[in-house]
Every structure is written in structure tokens, then in C-alpha cells.
Amino acid sequence: MTSGKSLGLKQKFINHCRKKSVWVLPFNSGGCNGCAIELLTCVSPRSDVERFGILVKGSPRHADVLVVDGPVTTKLKDRLLRIYQQMPEPKAVVALGSCPASKGIFDGCYDVAGPLDKIIPVDVWVPGCPPRPEAIIHGIIKAMGKIGGLER
């Protein structure tokens, strides 16, 4: 049996590790794939996001940061909500590009559900169409600060 004090130390250790090394789950909700290509550029050796402790994972149960790019369509809205709910706390959401913010070039399309912040809470906005890899890395690092409790 563990005491309450050791459980608190264990949780502090887990939180310390999580704020130094986040796992990112990319979610492409349709669109031109420009943002997805730029996000994958961040993983390449040229940008090397692993030096900041950022790893790309494929499971929402293991992810700390959800990166959404493209306009949220009505078909993918429920799936996005389910993925967001499956992520453990603390979690952060990064909206990548202009499509999640204002629907971008897909504004006025019949199948676009709306801006991302009307569906799930967004912590960091990364502007651009598509945003540069440096901006994406900066946005994910800001999300790391929110997870670690460094920013409110």
C-alpha cells in the first residue's frame, strides 16, 4: 500500500516529465494538406522537434497536445470530439493555420461545421496559410508551457 505522500511525489514526477516531453497527435480534418506537410516538415531532421522533447504519436490516449489543421467538417466533428475526450489531462489544443480559425478558403462551403473554438477549446493559435515550421514549433512549445502550468 502506498501512502498519500508518495503518491503525491509520484504525480509531481509524472507532471514534471510531461511538461518536458510532450507527445503530439496530429488531426487533419480535411483541406489542402499544406498545414499537414508543414507539420511533417517539423519532424524532419531539418527542423528536428525532438530536441525540444516533442514526439508525434498516433494514439489519443498517449497524446498531450492535439494539433488540428484544416476546416472542421460536419463528418469529422464527432470524431474530433471523441478524440479530444480520450486524451488525458492536462491537455492542450493547437489550431494550425487559418482554416481552423476562420474556415480559410473553405468559408461558405456547406459541409464546414465552423471554427474550431466552437467545437473544442483551443489553447494556441498558429496563424498562416500554411504556417512556417518555425511558427508551428513555437506554437507547440507554447502548448508545452500551458501543460506544465507555466502559462495561464
* Position 79 in a domain: yes
* Position 17 in a domain: no
* Position 11 in a domain: no
* Position 27 in a domain: yes
121 upstream amide cis, omega within 30 of 0: no
Q: Give me the tens of pLDDT residue by residue for the chain, a chain 152 residues long.
A: 455 555 677 777 766 666 667 888 999 887 788 888 888 888 888 888 888 788 888 888 988 899 998 888 888 889 999 999 999 888 899 999 887 878 777 777 777 887 888 899 999 999 888 889 899 889 988 888 877 665 54
pLDDT at 21: 78
* Position 142 in a domain: yes
CB count within 10 Å of CB 25 equals 22
* Position 152 in a domain: no
Could you list the residue range(s) of the whole structural domain that residue 30 is in?
A: 22-147
Closest CA to 120 of 61, 88, 77: 77
Domains identified in the chain, total number = 1
| CATH code assigned at 34 | 3.40.50.12280
* Position 59 in a domain: yes
Do the bridges between strand 55-56 and strand 92-96 make them parallel or antiparallel, or are there none, so unpaired? unpaired
Give the containing element (helix H, strand E) for 150.
none
- pLDDT tens digit sequence for 107-147: 777 778 878 888 999 999 998 888 898 998 899 888 888 77
- Using CA atoms, how far residue 5 sits from 1, 2, 11, 51, in Å, is 12, 8, 10, 33
* Position 80 in a domain: yes
pTM for the predicted model, two decimal places:
0.82
